Structure 1
């Protein structure tokens, strides 16, 4: 079965033809080449403590996210290859407003982080799912799946209210962003790259393998871009700055929101980072848990690669504001 996408509905979303090559793959090759050249020209640079710290964070971010990115690519390829477009029209309400909460709660079944949800959401859009529902799934899946909730319970023993607050606030972010897209989203903001198109006579298994190969190269390059950004910011932001603002209710919330964007910790592990920030209030730590899976530097890079830079430039800032407000509101009630 061919994975050729359905034509977009007017005012909905356009699917861009797949270009030859991969700009994100080119970025990956350039980074590797530059590091190889630097190693031979200035080998002493790699012995500097700051460079070693930077490389440790970069490798940690990429290795932490890579398994879930592969999971997302596999699911995306399976959806585009084996699942008929008619399936989604049967399981999702026709109204985008009603489809948003269904898709948002369906995010609980994907055991992965945000790196897995982006390619899956892109595949859903290509298969004809309304973008509002796909975006709700993208935001909820890395935050409310069982693995993340269990990890949060383990990181905060004896504090079930933190698990509940994370679930409620994350679902709220997904629903609000989905409904905002229904009300204000424009089709020309969203450019989804065409997935692998099956060649004549190509079997489903061959099409699945080709789709995985194509999508992994494309998404992997953007993961590297996000990892480079996260490593750089992690290295230059002093820990003393955090300690200085922990006692301020407003600054602590803003700083941990920014830290969640910068650190780009996988959602399966971010609860343990939040639990270690003992000087901050429970609400501020909840902000860290809600913001991270919704908008961080590697996620922004992946979104730009999957849906286009115009989409990421609009979606990420609004998501950040909504996530902070949702976490603060839920924290005030439950924590």
Structure 2
């Protein structure tokens, strides 16, 4: 129970995007880290690291409450998901990450070997997710999205769903959220909280690393928790 918030808070020390968080989490589990802690780190690292928070402050100048809201909502969602997995997660849902064959190299060779393994394993699934996001961007006219701006509840759900399909990198999504000026601050917060935790390329990566049974359950629960966390923090701070 204590490892989960510690792992979630540790995400602030790793400036990386969500694409790298899945193979890193898989490597942690492969080395014996509790899955609940590794999954909390998987969700928090791309959402609360310094690069993302600085980018958010630049995208929303003069609004430090937006940076604080993103930090708190993202960290809360990551920790809650870690605790939920520790309490309700079943071992059969989580396919163990593929073990590396052969003797374990050391030093520089170990670094190169790990980089090659994780890059080649994740690259194919990343391409599938990126292709799905690009198709959505081309096929859906922007005018359709403007219909939902008048409803605060529908706007939150719309931007939370939009974050899943647009697959914007966590280091740039704040600028996209800032450009959606017709939506409420809470809806834009939901876009920034959900995106680094649940999108098409992440679902594809999680499927390839941990299995489809895990990815479907984990992504669905994470989306709900991230939306609720955004709404609560947005209601409090924004």
The structural deviation recorded for 1:203 is 4.7
Structure 2 CA distance for aligned equivalents of residues 126 and 332 of structure 1: 39
User: Is the CA contact 2:4–2:83 (under 8 Å) kept in the aligned structure 1?
Assistant: yes
Aligned to 2:27: 123
Aligned to 2:71: 167
Structure 2 CA distance for aligned equivalents of residues 272 and 114 of structure 1: 17
The structural deviation recorded for 1:212 is 2.0
Moved more, 184-193 or 272-281: 184-193
Structure 1 CA distance for aligned equivalents of residues 110 and 196 of structure 2: 31
Structure 1 CA distance for aligned equivalents of residues 110 and 78 of structure 2: 32
Aligned to 1:222: 125
The structural deviation recorded for 1:198 is 4.0
Q: Secondary structure at the match of 1:293?
A: coil
Q: Counterparts in 2 of 1:193-208, with a 5 A limit?
A: 193-199=97-103, 202-208=105-111
User: Is the CA contact 2:27–2:97 (under 8 Å) kept in the aligned structure 1?
Assistant: no
TM-score normalised according to structure 1 size: 0.69
Structure 1 position 142 matched with structure 2 position 46: yes
Structure 1 CA distance for aligned equivalents of residues 233 and 165 of structure 2: 23
User: Is the CA contact 1:100–1:132 (under 8 Å) kept in the aligned structure 2?
Assistant: yes
The structural deviation recorded for 1:196 is 2.5
Q: Counterparts in 2 of 1:11-22, with a 5 A limit?
A: none
Structure 1 position 177 matched with structure 2 position 92: no
Structure 1 position 261 matched with structure 2 position 201: no
1:296 to 182, 195, 199: 199
The structural deviation recorded for 1:209 is 2.1
Moved more, 277-286 or 304-313: 304-313
Unaligned runs of 5+ in 2: none
2:186 to 254, 272, 283: 283
User: Is the CA contact 1:230–1:264 (under 8 Å) kept in the aligned structure 2?
Assistant: yes
Structure 1 position 152 matched with structure 2 position 56: yes
Moved more, 102-111 or 229-238: 229-238
Q: Secondary structure at the match of 2:22?
A: helix
Q: Counterparts in 2 of 1:1-335, with a 5 A limit?
A: 97-199=1-103, 202-335=105-238
**Aligned length, in residue pairs:** 238
Structure 1 CA distance for aligned equivalents of residues 29 and 39 of structure 2: 9
Structure 1 CA distance for aligned equivalents of residues 92 and 16 of structure 2: 29
Q: Secondary structure at the match of 2:96?
A: strand
Structure-2 change in CA distance of 1:244 and 1:128 (3 Å): same
- State the Cα deviation string for residues 246-302 of structure 1 (Å, max 9, x = none): 111111011101110010000000000000000000000000000000100011111
